[in-house]
Structure 1
């Protein structure tokens, strides 16, 4: 019986990293569910193997901070989903992002980001990388179009920005980065390879918070960096040095989530479109931000870079005028909800909301938040896999309280 690798995205989700793909087993009858190698160290019988383990051979295991078979199974599975040569897992999305940026940048280099990115990434860059002598620029698309500043080594973006869902023209950004001799790094957490495979659009490295759609059930924290081995290995070296390795249990949970990624994403996407269209027609919603709406300013860009739809994330503004607007409107809206919970994360099977001004983007100055359209009345909605009608009914209850 042959064990050829599946070709379709759906089959890869279900089978990658399991059975004969599990590293380190050497079994004629491997388990269909990958085992958890709950070990900190491994028995190394020869100095030759020890030497190979400590010169970064990912298939020789010595110490789980440096590598673990359960973690490696996840890395290989995600690499296949992204169409990449290799992947590196980390203890969180921020662990993956920081490992990648530290592996690519040195004092005097310039890091350019698109203006609208995840708030904690912005905090990492502005408050910590800047202290290392790395020069920072946050630019609007038209500024990037004019050319990257001298000394730019990394251009960083998100296919759909967190939280206002601005779509990035990845092929064009890749052209601009290449012309400047810079690497394009893309945080594809909101999109996953189900919606977008940035490497195929010109990106050099892709990072994910696997806590979100990959895991999908709100029970793990993990991150991944994906790309060519020549770029993944330096990031892996940083990850090992700072100790932001992923634990085997979280790796196993993430891989379990991958098995239903294609099914969950289809429902997230379906619900996202239906709910966004409903929100856009509500008088108590000042603005609806969803790239699947023809009225969205980057709808045409989203059509070019995405497949299978526009995602399960929506942002919308509650009224901001007067003493009853902004934060007060948000609190009344929250109080009117019954099924939907507020949680500072996203991509769970259950629908959740978040308040970016008070959570993910709280570290930004009021001026920076305003420039990104993040007011106190902005609601970030993560559509779960419930029936769309149930989500809409609960949102209607919340809006009735505003």
Structure 2
């Protein structure tokens, strides 16, 4: 396509039309495909010819979603999985082996912590954490057997930021794969591969779907890296369903307008919370008070739809605030049209010890808000009455 604007590409990139000339891409609910003859079957399975052989490997709907995401993120290729965690696990398992070491940001999603802390040690994969705001920890944390650097930026739920251009140069200098969880930003707000990352991962369940309807994960990178991902994923089976891919591809058509609204409202919420006397701390990338504000402004288009704050009074105050909310949903999800409040210490990061939570900035009074698409006056009104 000649058009290069994100919004146009997100809407107009789609699979080739069938003989029926449909305007909206159809669903391809088939598990397998027929071959014209025995030779075509042989050639397809031998990778001598392009085509579909089985929907666990590829499907026209997942093809469209991957192609669209790759273009929007500035990647060469991609792979779709059943969930965001399936994307993270598949990436780890493709490139890591017994004896390898991972250097990860300390502030990551709770299930990613579980992989690093409890599952990978069984297979001889070791890890160390580094803080996003302390560059010296990343330089000092690299070992001879470090094969991967893994970061979330902005992080969940602390909204920490790291300079991806600097980190990409560090990884390249040491011959290490840089993997970025780009879930909070989406390709509309941040494109890690253009900044120096090797792989960008999304939980498409969140802002990419944007309506709390479905699960999905996306892995994006170079043709060579995705070929390795494919080698693992085709046989381990973390496949995305065609229906989910169809939903997510349609959702991308409204991603830009949704994110503009999420970000506009989230900034107003962050500014409102900063002025409230019962709020100890507010974390939002585009607040001037954010420690990495300048970095966020450099590598992100806007600040995103997530605001995290700490309320005076600890767990009791956080619970009281959430229980008084009238419009916000209490849920562990995020990135929805509906505004959501989450208490990370008792939900998404509940499997961490108290010491581990404090290390990543999660206090008992920490509340994560996913700002939806409701009218800003209603959002602020609900927060205000719940804090009163």
- Alignment of 1:366 onto 2:354: yes
> CA 1:165–1:263 in structure 2 vs 1: closer, same or farther (change >3 Å)?
same
TM-score, length of structure 1 as denominator length:
0.92
Query: SS in structure 2 opposite 1:360?
Result: coil
- Alignment of 1:262 onto 2:253: no
Partners of 1:222 and 1:250 within 8 A in 2: yes
- Alignment of 1:160 onto 2:184: no
Measure, in 2, the Cα distance between the counterparts of 1:366 and 1:240. Answer: 39
CA shift, 1:243, in A, is 1.4
TM-score, length of structure 2 as denominator length:
0.96
Deviations 1:117-175 (A, max 9, x none): 11111111221122111121112233103461221110000120010100111011111
Q: What is the root-mean-square deviation of aligned Cα atoms in Å?
A: 1.6
2:203 paired residue number: 209
- Alignment of 1:339 onto 2:330: no
Query: SS in structure 2 opposite 1:286?
Result: strand
Within a 5 Å distance, the mapping from 1:221-370 to structure 2 comes to 221-307=215-301, 309-319=302-312, 325-370=313-358
Deviations 1:18-61 (A, max 9, x none): xxx33xx553x632211110011111223343234334689511
**One of 114, 117, 120 as aligned partner of 2:105:** 114
**One of 175, 189, 192 as aligned partner of 2:183:** 189
Deviations 1:271-323 (A, max 9, x none): 1111100011101111111111111111111112111x11110100111xxxx
Query: SS in structure 2 opposite 1:77?
Result: helix
1:87 paired residue number: 78
1:378 paired residue number: 366
Q: Which runs of 5+ in 1 are unaligned?
A: 320-324
1:395 paired residue number: 383
Query: SS in structure 2 opposite 1:310?
Result: coil
Partners of 1:37 and 1:248 within 8 A in 2: yes
Partners of 1:96 and 1:239 within 8 A in 2: no
Measure, in 1, the Cα distance between the counterparts of 2:372 and 2:81. Answer: 25
Partners of 1:350 and 1:385 within 8 A in 2: yes
Comparing 124-133 with 365-374, greater Cα deviation is found at 124-133
Query: SS in structure 1 opposite 2:279?
Result: coil
CA shift, 1:398, in A, is 1.0
- Alignment of 1:8 onto 2:11: no
Partners of 2:84 and 2:217 within 8 A in 1: yes
1:179 paired residue number: 173
2:64 paired residue number: 73
- Alignment of 1:133 onto 2:124: yes
2:95 paired residue number: 104
Partners of 2:128 and 2:141 within 8 A in 1: no
> CA 1:107–1:262 in structure 2 vs 1: closer, same or farther (change >3 Å)?
same
Q: Which runs of 5+ in 2 are unaligned?
A: none
1:322 paired residue number: none
Query: SS in structure 1 opposite 2:201?
Result: strand
